[in-house]
Amino acid sequence: MTTELEQQIAAAQEAVTKQGDTVRSLKASAKEGKAEKSEVDAAIQKLAELKLALESKQKEFEKVTGKVSSQSKEALRAALAGVLERRMFYIPSFKIYGSVAGFYDYGPPGCAIKQNMTQVWRNHFVLEENMLEVECPAVTPEVVLKASGHVDRFTDFMVTDAVTGECFRADHLLEGHLEALLEDKKNPVSPEKAKEIRDLLAGVGELKADTMGAALQAYDVRAPGTGNAISAPFAFNLMFKTSIGPKGDMVGYLRPETAQGIFVNFRDLLYYNGGKLPFAAAQIGNSYRNEISPRAGLLRVREFTQAEIEHFVNGDDKRHPKFPLVADLRPLLYSRELQMGEEKKAAPMSLGEAVSRGIIANETLAYFIGRTWLFFCKIGVNPARMRFRQHLQHEMAHYATDCWDGEVETTYGWVECVGLADRSAYDLKAHSGMSKIDLTAFEKFPEPRMEEVVKVVPNNKELGAAFKKDQKAVKEALEALDSNAALDVKAKLESAGVATIATCDGQQFEVKASMVEIKKVTEKVTGKTYTPSVIEPSFGIGRIMYCMFEHCYYTREGDETRAVMGFKPVVAPTKATVFPLVQKPALNDLAARLSRELTAAGLSNLIDTTGNTIGKRYARTDEIGVPFAVTVDFQSVEGDGSVTLRERDSMTQVRVPAGEVAGVIRDLVDDRTTWEAVSGKYPAQKASADDE
């Protein structure tokens, strides 16, 4: 049985390939006027049908074999990709010059969706939370990215084909090789070997150059395609480098993230906010990563849009006043504990419980997890297929307190779309250290307090006599000691008579008891100076868009050839279409007037007077996910003055007075009303046989 099915699948696959060729040549003919656009569309339709037939065979195969084959996922992905490319949601950039990997153009519907999604993001985060939105350049001088660590550490390991010089990501190569070994049915590995491979796979992300090199050698990994030997892995910096100014002496990079623009502005933003903390700043903009081997469409590209928030807060108090508003939400949480457990499966848990049980480190981080979850729901990601995965301890940078990734399930597996990290005071300290500019905040106590403080009083004369030109450095080092360090020095001076002091340039000096007085005194303290902690939710807009596309894509029941992009109205690129039922001047005129009214209400719309059947028109607009359709008929101009308004997903229809239709759609798009409410208010209209 499976053999027969496999043959059918192969045949179906061939048919898809052939029809693809037909479509291409018809398009070329249409260009020269030798074929009609309708012929091209029919061929494309046929191609879609063949793809779906292939998919359905593959689904059958899965049922029989009892597992989801990777082909099936690829078929769904291919069917969706067909719609996305045909309707120009996005296409490879510079196509007429053969394209460049990792760059995509958004065509009209993609561009509109991206615009709508970022606007929802802005309303949901910036407006509702009164965040300070900024916009900073992508071109960034080296010093900024030196301070942030990107110049030294923003690298991937690369290997090259020893003969051709072709470049590969070392981790991808190793993973691919190991996965192939595990899946090899002809030469199965021993259970012990399989365990070894799985353990190695789980830790690929943590390998260093030497351990990665050893693993590649141990498994005799070779260059894909050629089978040639590969070089030892070496670090490749992912930033695009350029030069600023005419002299050529100032190195610049394209920013690899938008966050640094916010950090370097912290001082001005704090002043703008009246010196008060906590506050959040946000930035939406493009970032750049010169990926070694871009792949998977929008998921790994070299230029992409980020929306990042830096929430600055006193590290001693990470409560959030609005936390109660999200405490009862129950997103899927995939905690460290669950990841280390047997089932390895995320589970819903209320954010309130997660914080009180210490699973999420603090209220502010949990608040943003909740808000992020609500954002994903708003734009049409299926919340049952979204989870928050906590970073394992070894995945986190040493300074991070807690990190969670917002992941969405797709045909590519779980895709990281958002990173939510409590980065402590690392970023501000790094920039303060490099720029020598104070990036602290001052918390004024409600009342001054009497506090015991440790005072360090250097004896200038003694220090000068002992250290000459180094006097100043030693003095500064003594004054910079924090309370505990100062008390340590005091103890050493009292016990041994000397203590070792390190200056900021790393030199060490022996200080004697006579050179400094260290004492505890009680002082009136009006407040506290501290470097704020940062909680950073960072969104990858392109990835979120792609995941949303997968979740919104479906086919009409009973007709697998009819693809629908079930976009939420607020996200949909075109909010409504206007059709005259037949080509008559009076109907066309009213349709044109309604289109103008929709435009005046800020609603993107298309008027279709091609004379296609209503069913065909719906099929075309379903593919770009138009949520509402307005049909003008004879009744509209001669009878009751009403038009038919149809909702895409339910395919139900109501009769609405022509003058009210723009307002009704505006309210539906803005979520001020629901289709249910509209259906209750206006009389229903049966769909004609022609409709489907």
Give every CB contact of residue 372 below 8 A, 6+ residues apart in sequence: 388, 406, 418, 420, 537, 539
Helix (H) or strand (E) holding 458: strand 441-458
> What is the C-alpha separation between 171 and 201, in angstroms, rounded?
9
Taking the complex as a whole, how short is the minimal distance between the CB of residue 490 and its own copies, in angstroms?
A: 26
DSSP track, 292-324: SS-BTGGGB-SEEEEEEEEEEE-TT----TTGG
Using CB under 8 A as the binding rule, whether residue 449 contacts its own copies is answered as no
Residue 27 or 336: the one with the smaller Cβ distance to its own copies is 27
**Interaction of residue 222 with its own copies, rule CB under 8 A:** no
Classify the phi-psi angles of 410: left when phi > 0, otherwise alpha if psi is within -120 to 50, otherwise beta: beta
- Which 3 state secondary structure label does DSSP give 539? strand
Question: C-alpha angle 389/394/400, rounded to 5°?
Answer: 75
Residue 344 DSSP symbol: -
The only residue of 47, 132, 346, 493 in contact with its own copies, by rule CB under 8 A: 132
> Judged by CB under 8 A, which stretch of 199-207, 233-241, 457-465, 675-683 contacts its own copies?
233-241
Quote the least distance from Cβ 172 to its own copies, whole Å.
Answer: 12
* Among the listed residues 25, 242, 460, 514, the single contact to its own copies using CB under 8 A: 242
State which of residues 18, 24, 67, 95 lies at the interface with its own copies (CB under 8 A).
Answer: 95
Q: How far is the CB of 602 from its own copies (least distance, A)?
A: 6
Question: Which residue lies nearer to its own copies by CB, 303 or 560?
Answer: 303
Q: What is the rounded distance in angstroms from the CA atom of residue 103 to the CA atom of residue 92?
A: 6
Stretch that binds its own copies, among 16-24, 265-273, 316-324, 506-514 (CB under 8 A): 265-273
At 326, give phi and psi (nearest 5°).
Answer: -115, -5
The label of the residue with tokens 């002091």 reads 501
Give me the least distance between CB of 258 and its own copies, in Å please. 11
Q: Mark the segment that binds its own copies (CB under 8 A) among 11-19, 70-78, 134-142, 342-350.
A: 134-142
Site string for its own copies, 141-180 (x = CB under 8 A): x-xx-------------x------x-x-------------
Residue type for position 243: S
Residue 265 makes contact with its own copies by CB under 8 A:
yes
Of the residues 62, 74, 105, 692, which one makes contact with its own copies according to CB under 8 A: 105
Give the binding range for its own copies (CB under 8 A) out of 104-112, 319-327, 378-386, 416-424.
104-112
Q: Which stretch binds its own copies (CB under 8 A): 51-59, 67-75, 190-198, 240-248?
A: 240-248
Among residue numbers 472 through 531, which ones bind its own copies (CB under 8 A)? Answer: 526-527, 529
Is residue 97 a contact residue for its own copies (CB under 8 A)? yes
Which CB atom, from 167 or from 454, has the smaller least distance to its own copies? 167
Tokens of 304: 């992409």
The single residue among 51, 57, 114, 387 that binds its own copies, judged by CB under 8 A, is 114
The two beta strands, 139-141 and 250-254, are antiparallel
Tokens linked to 312: 């600055």
Q: Which of 48, 117, 216, 292 binds its own copies (CB under 8 A)?
A: 292
Helix (H) or strand (E) holding 535, with range, is strand 533-540
Q: Does residue number 24 form part of the binding site for its own copies (CB under 8 A)?
A: no
Q: Three-state SS across 626-654?
A: CCEEEEECHHHHHCCCEEEEEECCCCCEE
- Return the residues of window 384-443 that contact its own copies according to CB under 8 A: 431, 434-435, 437-439, 442
Q: Is 94 in the site for its own copies (CB under 8 A)?
A: yes
Of residues 7 and 123, the one with the C-beta less far from its own copies: 123
Measure Cα distances from 287 to 57, 259, 625 in Å: 41, 10, 29
- Which residues from 541-580 bind its own copies, rule CB under 8 A? none
Closer residue to its own copies, CB minimum distance, 46 or 620: 620
- Interface pick for its own copies out of 122, 172, 429, 512 (rule CB under 8 A): 122
Q: Which of 20, 107, 615, 663 binds its own copies (CB under 8 A)?
A: 107
The one-letter amino acid at 347: A
Min. distance of Cβ 578 from its own copies in angstroms?
A: 12
The one segment of 30-38, 71-79, 580-588, 631-639 that binds its own copies by CB under 8 A: 30-38
- Cβ proximity to its own copies, 492 vs 593, nearer residue: 593
Which range, of 112-120, 203-211, 214-222, 461-469, touches its own copies by CB under 8 A? 112-120
Site string for its own copies, 39-78 (x = CB under 8 A): ----------------------------------------
Please, what sign has the CA dihedral across residues 262, 268, 272, 274? positive
Q: Is 534 in a helix, a strand, or coil?
A: strand
| Whole-angstrom distance, CA of residue 577 vs CA of residue 629 | 5
Give the nearer residue to its own copies in terms of CB position, either 359 or 661. 661
Task: Examine residue 274 and tell whether it contacts its own copies (CB under 8 A).
Answer: yes
Q: At closest approach, how far in Å is the CB of 209 from its own copies? A: 16
Spatial CB neighbours of 136, under 8 Å, sequence gap ≥ 6: 255, 258, 261, 262, 264, 265, 283, 285
Alpha-carbon span 345 to 662, nearest angstrom: 46
CB of 266 to its own copies, least distance (A): 8
Among 103, 219, 412, 530, binds its own copies (CB under 8 A): 103
Contact 315, 533 (CB under 8 A): yes
Residue-wise DSSP of 464-523: HHHHGGGHHHHHHHHHT--HHHHHHHHHHHHHHSEEEEE-TTS-EEEEEGGGEEEEEEEE
The smaller minimum CB distance to its own copies, of residues 433 and 683, is found at 433
DSSP assignment of 346-410: -EE--HHHHHHTTSSS-HHHHHHHHHHHHHHHHHT--GGGEEEEEPPGGGS-TT-SEEEEEEEEE
